[in-house]
Structure 1
């Protein structure tokens, strides 16, 4: 039974199953599918999507908001954990100046799709109708790209850390674009101070202070009390505050736990996301990661179910604009900017990663799905153009096949062990 579950979780089969069910359901009985997506759990609370009822604006907790904005925060936190360890640990694949290479590649991964999207729209003579959708193909879906990246590179290849950092930075940039160019309401960046204060408070009070008080005492009473008595609760409260700050600031709250991850006590080495070896690490960060392993798989199922339901009748020009902007613009931009960072700028690539891996990472990153669907929903009003753009974001899942083929063409080496193993 353990082997079966490991196979399901390692290859995110629940996520894929949810997406396939949604696609079939939305095309067989769209009315009942959309009723499920927008099912209201409660209204009038402090969290949820803003809706107006009888002239009164209130927050409504829908099933879609629960999975996309609340529960998916745990997946993004796990992804951020791998990136953080890759940067901060002594043998981390993204440590030091080499962390700059994926960040610079991210710029190419955002600029490339914009150029392709607007260029194709101009060539087709539809620029005036679809110009507002230029930001749709800038994002990378972390969940699906991680899944495909694992299939191509293996769990321990440094390209996985590179990909995760790129994807998170990509989505952060996409959400910044969303806040600046597609405001759905009043943007209030001052609320991000709540997230910053929560992160700093938990880091110094629950991490630094106990170690300072235990200095010179081998029994470490304060750190032991913190670990055994309070456990993860200080970080849970800080995470809730940070999440709320992101929501109120007008940014996607699914990224609200990211500032808290670096404050959690961690081991001195890492083995890779969900790695079996990390079960034996006693630090809080790895303990939390493995406690979340099973719940996050079911969150991914719900996420796929509530986001992938688009009707095939929606296919039109915006579909192809979004699709080709992703599958052409992403690999071109990431490869070119990554090469500039690694060689002319002499920043290098992570140990064990080669230049031939960059276009493969680019094709993996062309899976837009999550944030691309979200941006499409605000870039265009509800109707045929919005549905067509969403279908392009959904079709970008086909880039997984291209990425796997590219991995074979470029002879990607799988599961390179980190230095020192």
Structure 2
């Protein structure tokens, strides 16, 4: 049973299943889908709010845990020069799609689509990792390069959500950010008091952060991002991204181990809540998002990493320019975080659906990457 559960998680099947169910439901019975998503479920809270504003707190917290561990001595981001190549590629993976989006919008779009520029900046960590393993094999250096890039990419994505996509239904009230600072102070005090259980950090520190962000008009899904780095953890990391150390009994490791399973399977509900767009929703925003992910991500990552290599930032041993181009294509799978940002970028539901369709179409980059890998004769390293 454990083997089958791990297989479901590894292949992101809960998320994909949620997307498929949402697409079928929204296209055959759109009225009941919308009613399910937005009718009151727990008091005044609806399914969409519970998923995007509460469940996604833990999704972004797991990402923050990975970033925290990677920045520790021995981690993949420490020292900074060790990750300079992937980080420079990340810059290209942000600037490239933003530039392509704004350029395409200038030519084919309109002023009301400008705010969607942040949607194609994301990279879906889980699905891109899976595709990279299919293309390169589990032990190819391009897989680690992609993971470093994707983690850094989503770290920037968190900042973009926080600063550029405030809640349109709540005007910005920065004074409430005092509660976020208070939540961080509580987490720091708990750590100083050597509290090992992660629940006080989540309830007291995370609760204050959630209330502060929500009332400030910023997205509360980021509340635990400010708390997770304070969870007690070793000062040296011994494993790579997504690897678990059975000897690590720290608070951060316990939180990540216990909640990653919940998040992996809970992504079914995220897909169900966000991917229910009708096929008639294809529009200009769809092609702006998809085109920016396909061309902007690929070219941005390739050109910036190529420039870094010319400046003597070496690519990992065993990785060449062809592999780098494939990494850029795979990183164009925005999906999860792109779906999330699409819901925040536009107030108009029609534009939200058009943009979400572009994020869903980005899964086709997997097919492009696998086919390109075959044509280029990539030698997989198992």
For residues 188 and 151 of structure 1, the distance between their equivalents in structure 2, rounded to whole angstroms, comes to 46
| 3-state SS, counterpart of residue 186 of structure 1 | coil
User: Once structures 1 and 2 are overlaid, which stretch shifts more, 263-272 or 315-324?
Assistant: 263-272
Alignment of 1:401 with 2:370, yes or no, is: no
- Partner of 2:160 in structure 1? 173
Deviation at 1:293, TM superposition (A): 3.4
2:61 equivalent to 1:94: no
Listed one character per residue, the Cα deviations across residues 244-264 of structure 1 (whole Å, up to 9, x for unaligned) are 323233322222211222211
- When normalised by structure 1's length, the TM-score is 0.77
Distance change >3 Å, CA 385–CA 163, structure 1 → 2:
closer
1:38 counterpart = 2:38: yes
Q: Is the CA contact 2:233–2:252 (under 8 Å) kept in the aligned structure 1?
A: yes
Instruction: Indicate the residue corresponding to 1:262 in structure 2.
Output: 229
Q: Does the CA-based 8 Å contact 2:19-2:272 persist in structure 1? A: yes
Asked if 1 retains the 8 angstrom alpha-carbon contact of 2:9 and 2:265, the reply is: no
For 1:135, what is the secondary structure of its paired residue?
A: helix
CA contact (8 A) 1:139 1:171 kept: no
Tell me which structure has the larger Cα radius of gyration.
1
Alpha carbons of structure 1 residues 273 and 115: separation in structure 2 relative to 1, 3 Å:
closer
Aligned positions, number: 374
Give me the whole-angstrom Cα distance separating, in 1, the residues matched to 2:192 and 2:372.
Answer: 46
> What are structure 2's unaligned runs of at least 5 residues?
none
| Pairing of 1:142-291 with structure 2 (within 5 A) | 142-149=125-132, 151-152=134-135, 154=138, 157-159=143-145, 160-179=147-166, 183-203=168-188, 205-210=189-194, 226-227=195-196, 231-236=197-202, 237-267=204-234, 268-272=236-240, 275=243, 277-291=244-258
Contact map agreement 1:85 1:270 (CA 8 A) in 2 = no
User: How far, CA to CA, are the matches of 2:316 and 2:78 in structure 1?
Assistant: 8
Which of 328, 350, 362 is matched with 1:362 structurally?
328
Q: Are 1:307 and 1:370, in contact at CA under 8 Å, matched by a contact in 2?
A: no
Alignment of 1:63-82 (within 5 A): 63-82=47-66
Tell me how far apart the structure 1 counterparts of residues 381 and 36 of structure 2 sit (CA, whole Å). 40
CA RMSD across the alignment: 3.1
Query: 1:114 aligns to what?
Result: 98
Residue 215 of structure 1 is matched in structure 2 by none
SS at match of 2:45: strand
Cα distance in 1 for partners of 2:267, 2:219 equals 17
**What SS is found at the alignment partner of 2:41?**
strand
* Displacement of 1:132: 4.3
> 2:250 & 2:121 partners in 1: Cα distance?
36
Q: Quick check: 1:171–1:371 contact (8 Å CA) kept in 2?
A: no
Q: Hey, what does 1:138 align to over in structure 2?
A: 121
Distance 1:266 1:188 in 2: 34
Whether the aligned pair in 2 keeps the contact of 1:185 and 1:250 (CA below 8 Å) is yes
Which digits, 9 at most, give the CA deviation of each residue in 1:279-320, with x for residues without a partner? 442222212222123322331111111111111112233322
Q: Distance in 2 between matches of 1:414 and 1:279?
A: 26
Between 246-255 and 309-318, the greater mean CA deviation after superposition: 246-255
Q: Could you list the per-position Cα deviations for residues 2-21 of structure 1 after superposition, in whole angstroms to 9, with x for gaps in the alignment?
A: 21111112222111111111
The 1:165–1:354 alpha-carbon spacing in structure 2 relative to 1, beyond 3 Å, is: farther
Deviations 1:39-63 (A, max 9, x none): 32245xxxxxxxxxxxxxxxx4221
